[in-house]
Amino acid sequence: MRWDGLRIEPDGTLRADQGAPPALFERGAIARTFDTPGFRGQTYFEVHAKSAINRVPDASRVPFRWTINPYRGCSHACRYCLVGETPILMADGRTRALADVRPGDEIYGTELAGPGRRGDCRRYVRTTVLAHWSTVKPAYRITLADGTQLVASGDHRFLSDRGWKHVTGTGRGPGQRPQLTLGNKLVGVGWFAEPPKHDAGYRRGYLCGMIHSGGPAGQLDTRRHDHEALARVHRFLADAHRAFAARLAEWPEVASREWRKGFLAGVFDVAGSYRQGILRISGMDPQIAAWLDSSLRELGFTFAAACSATGLTDFRLTGGLPEQLRFFLSADPAISRKRSIEGAAIKSRARLQVAAIEPLGLDLPMYDITTGTGDFIANGVVSHNCFARNTHTYLDLDAGHDFDSKIVVKVNAPELVRKELAAPKWPGEHIAMGTNVDVYQRAEGRYQLMPGILRALLDARNPYSILTKGTLILRDLDLLTASAEVTDVGLSVSVGCTDEDLWRTLEPGTPSPLRRLGVCATLSEHGLRCGVLMGPVVPFLSDSPAQLEATVRQVAEAGATHVTPIVLHLRPGAREWFLAWLARNHPALVPRYRGLYGSRAYAPKDYQERIAGQVRELAERYQVGRGSPPPIRRWRGPAAAPAAAPAAEQLTLL
C-alpha cells in the first residue's frame, strides 16, 4: 500500500521500504496502530500538511469562507458519511476510474451535432484516449443538486448550460476566466450507478434469466446469443458447484438484489434491445413477466408494460437516458453492442445545478487525459482536464470501512494555523471547524491537536465555530471560554435523535445523544452559547411526532440557543452504504425510501419543510434559547504575542 513507505514497527523502530511509492505530503507518512481498546482496529497515518486554513470558493452556499481540517477519515463510523470514486464512461458502456484509464482505451466523448457552443446540440460519440498523466494541485469537491459529487482541481473545466467553466477563477485581472457559480447547470445525466458484484447471487440470477428467456425448453440457444454473453455463461458455469448447476432454472424463494440485477442482465442479453433511445424487453411469458416486473420495481426503475393478444408482455424502460444508463450500469448486461449510446443526444432532466464547491485542504494528484474529442464523461457530466480520485480512495483506502478505520492525521496543523494567522495577507475572517470530519473524534484524544489550534486562534483573536459529536470538546473548556471573551465563538453539537437504539446502529463510534446534550448543558453553564444541529433526521426511523418532540424537549432542557433540523442526505457512495444498512436492519423500509428519494440525493422539499415546521413549533413550545446565557463580555485589549503550538487540521461531520 502507498502508506507503507514509512511504518512504525511494534518495537518502536521506523521501517522505510525500498521502492515504496512517493510520499504524498512534505515528509512522507508514518503509520501507527495502538493496542488500547478504544483504538484497536484503527490505523493512523501521520502526515505533514502544506496548509491548514482552507478557503471555501465563493460559489459555495455555506455561511463561511474558511475551514480548518486536522483529520481525514472519521472513527465515528457513521453510516451516512461515505462517498465513492470518480468513474469514466467507457465505450463498452461500463465505467472505470480515471486513474486507471490508459492511452488507447476507447471511451465516450461528445461532439456538436449542430450550430452553437452550448451542450444542447451535443451527442455522445466514441473516442480514443491519446495521452494520460498526472500532476499535483489543491483539490475541490463539487456537489450538484442531485447529489453528484466530483473532486477536481480549480483549473478543471466542466461543460455547463453557459459554456465551459473552471471550478475556480476570477472575473477580472490577468487571470480572468469563467468560473462555476451556484445554479450553473452542468451537462450530462448525473451520477453513475455502482456496477453489480458478480457474486453467487448475481451469477445464479444471470443464468436463470438466460435459461428462462431462451425458450420454453429451458435450453440456451447459441444461435441467438452474442459471444460476450456465451463467454459469461461459460465462466459462470465453470464457477458453479455441480449441485447448483443442476438447479439453474429454479426460481429463488427469496430473491436478493444482486440476483435480480443478474436476472435482468440475463433476460436483456437474450430478449432485450436498445434502439433509437428506447430500451425494451419483448415477448415475456406471464411467469418471466412477473419476475421482471418485481425486479424492476425492487431496483427502483420506472417502466411501462403492455400485454399482447398472445399473452406475452413487452417492457419499456421510461425516464430517458439517465434511467437507461442506470439499468446498463447496475444490471451490467454482457453484450456491449446492446449498451451503445453512440449518437444519443445529451439531454436530460437531471438536477445538475451546482449546489456547493468546497476545498478539501489537500494537494492531490490530478489525472488528466487527452482524447480525440477533447472531453470525456466523468460521473455523468461532460468534462475535461485534471480529475482526482476521491481523497480516501486515492490514498489506497476505500471510502467505506477504511474511512472509518484508517485516519489521516495532519500532525503539523497547529503550527500551520499559527503561521497562517500571523501572515499579513490573512483577513481575520471567521473559520469553521467540524464541517467535514469531526475535530473531536476519538483520534483527538491521542493526538491533542485542537488545543494548539485554539491557542493560535485565541492569540490572534480570530472568530471561529465548532460543530462536533464528541464530548472531548469539554477538555478545552478554558480555551473556549478565553476565546469567547475576546472574539466571536460559535459552538454546536450534532444530535439527530435521542433514540438510543437507533443511535447504537447508525452512529456506533459516537458518544450517546444524551452525553452530547450534556456537553451542550455544560457549555451553557460556563457561559458559552451552544446550539444543536438536529441531524440527520432519518425518514421513517426518527421523524415521528413523538420522536421529534422528545428530542426538541431534551434540547431545550440542555440550554441550547437554537435547534436546526437537517434531513438525511443520500449522496452517491453514502447512498449505497446506507441502503445496504437499511436492507439488513429495516428491509420493510426499502420500498418507502425508494418512493421518497427515488434517484435523488435529497428528500423532497415538502418533506424537509414539514420537518422544519414541526421542529420550529416544538422549539417555540419548549422555549429553546430562552434560558441561554448572554454572550460573554469581550475584552478589546491588544493582541497577545503569538506563542508556539502543536499540530492539527480538520474535516466534516455529516
Query: Is the pLDDT confidence value at 398 over 50?
Result: no
Range picked from 113-127, 216-230, 350-364, 549-563 for highest mean pLDDT: 549-563
Same domain, 335 and 353: no
Asked whether the beta carbons of 15 and 3 are under 8 A apart, the reply is no
How many Å apart are CA 567 and CA 537, to the nearest integer?
5
Average pLDDT over residues 317-332: 94
The per-residue DSSP string of 473-502 comes to: GGGGHHHHHHHHTTS-EEEEEE-S---HHH
List the beta bridge partners of residue 153. Answer: 139
Domain-located, residue 357:
yes
Predicted confidence (pLDDT) per residue in 131-144, tens digit: 777 766 788 889 99
DSSP state of 110: E
What CATH number does the domain containing 242 carry? Answer: 3.10.28.10
How many Å apart are CA 341 and CA 348, to the nearest integer?
14
Average pLDDT over residues 610-630: 87
Q: What is the pLDDT of residue 443?
A: 84
Q: What is the pLDDT of residue 397?
A: 46
Same domain, 266 and 292: yes
Domain-located, residue 429:
no
Task: Find the range with the poorest average confidence among 264-273, 358-367, 387-396, 637-646.
Answer: 637-646
Q: Which of 339, 358, 374 is the last residue of a domain?
A: 339
Same domain, 102 and 172: yes
Domain-located, residue 277:
yes
Same domain, 352 and 335: no
Same domain, 208 and 184: no
Q: Which domain holds residue 95?
A: 87-189+348-389
Domain-located, residue 580:
no
Q: Which of 356, 389, 422 is the last residue of a domain?
A: 389
Asked whether the beta carbons of 210 and 335 are under 8 A apart, the reply is no
How many Å apart are CA 324 and CA 516, to the nearest integer?
45
How many Å apart are CA 416 and CA 509, to the nearest integer?
29
- Amino acid identity at 171: G
Backbone angles phi, psi at 15, to 5 degrees: -105, 125
| Pairwise pLDDT comparison (224 vs 90), residue with the higher score | 90
**Would you mind telling me the total number of residues written for the chain in this entry?**
654
Sequence-distant (≥ 6) Cβ neighbours of residue 423 within 8 angstroms:
none
How many Å apart are CA 564 and CA 619, to the nearest integer?
10
Nearest in space to 76 (alpha carbons), one of 519, 506, 586, 382:
506
Same domain, 91 and 206: no
For residue 361, count CB atoms less than 10 angstroms from its CB and return exposed for 0-12, middle for 13-18, buried for 19 or more: buried
Same domain, 218 and 334: yes
* Confidence at 395, pLDDT banded by 50, 70, 90: very low
How many Å apart are CA 91 and CA 124, to the nearest integer?
10
Using only C-alpha atoms, the chain has a radius of gyration, in whole angstroms, of: 27
| Pairwise pLDDT comparison (563 vs 390), residue with the higher score | 563
Q: How many CB atoms lie within 10 A of CB 463?
A: 17
List the beta bridge partners of residue 365. Answer: 136
Sequence-distant (≥ 6) Cβ neighbours of residue 633 within 8 angstroms:
485
- Amino acid identity at 199: D
Burial annotation 193-225 (CB, 10 A radius, 16+ → b, else e) = bbebebebbbbbbbbbbbbbbbeeeeebeeeeb
Burial annotation 607-639 (CB, 10 A radius, 16+ → b, else e) = beeebbebbeebbeebebbeebbeebeeeeeee
Predicted confidence (pLDDT) per residue in 370-387, tens digit: 787 888 999 999 987 545
Asked whether the beta carbons of 66 and 53 are under 8 A apart, the reply is yes
Q: What is the pLDDT of residue 638?
A: 37
Burial annotation 253-288 (CB, 10 A radius, 16+ → b, else e) = eebbbbbbbbbbbbbbbbbbebeeeebbbeebeeeb
Burial annotation 385-405 (CB, 10 A radius, 16+ → b, else e) = bbbbbbbbbbbebebbebbbb
Q: Which of 310, 339, 368 is the last residue of a domain?
A: 339
What CATH number does the domain containing 358 carry? Answer: 2.170.16.10
The per-residue DSSP string of 541-588 comes to: TS-SHHHHHHHHHHHHHTT-S-EEEEEPP--TBHHHHHHHHHHHH-GG
Query: Is the pLDDT confidence value at 92 over 80?
Result: yes
Domain-located, residue 630:
no
SS3 letters for 216-270?
Answer: CCCCCCHHHCCHHHHHHHHHHHHHCCHHHHCCCCCCCCCCCHHHHHHHHHHHHHH
Same domain, 206 and 184: no
Domain-located, residue 421:
no
Query: For 386, left (φ over 0), alpha (ψ -120 to 50), or beta?
Result: left
Same domain, 151 and 207: no
Rounded to the nearest 5 degrees, what angle is found at the Cα of 182, between the Cα atoms of 178 and 184?
65
Same domain, 210 and 238: yes
Number of domains in the chain: 2
For residue 24, count CB atoms less than 10 angstroms from its CB and return exposed for 0-12, middle for 13-18, buried for 19 or more: buried
Sequence-distant (≥ 6) Cβ neighbours of residue 370 within 8 angstroms:
129, 130, 131, 132
How many Å apart are CA 407 and CA 43, to the nearest integer?
6
Domain-located, residue 284:
yes
Cα–Cα distances in Å, from 474 out to 375, 481, 485, 516, 522?
Answer: 51, 11, 17, 11, 8
Domain-located, residue 305:
yes
| Pairwise pLDDT comparison (134 vs 558), residue with the higher score | 558
Task: Find the range with the poorest average confidence among 49-63, 119-133, 190-204, 303-317.
Answer: 49-63
Q: What is the pLDDT of residue 309?
A: 82
Q: What share of the chain is helix, strand, coil (3-state, %, to 5)?
A: 35, 25, 40
Same domain, 207 and 335: yes
Query: For 174, left (φ over 0), alpha (ψ -120 to 50), or beta?
Result: alpha
Cα–Cα distances in Å, from 255 out to 194, 261, 435, 589, 593?
Answer: 19, 10, 40, 17, 19
Same domain, 305 and 241: yes
Query: Is the pLDDT confidence value at 21 over 80?
Result: no
Nearest in space to 413 (alpha carbons), one of 364, 452, 462, 464:
452
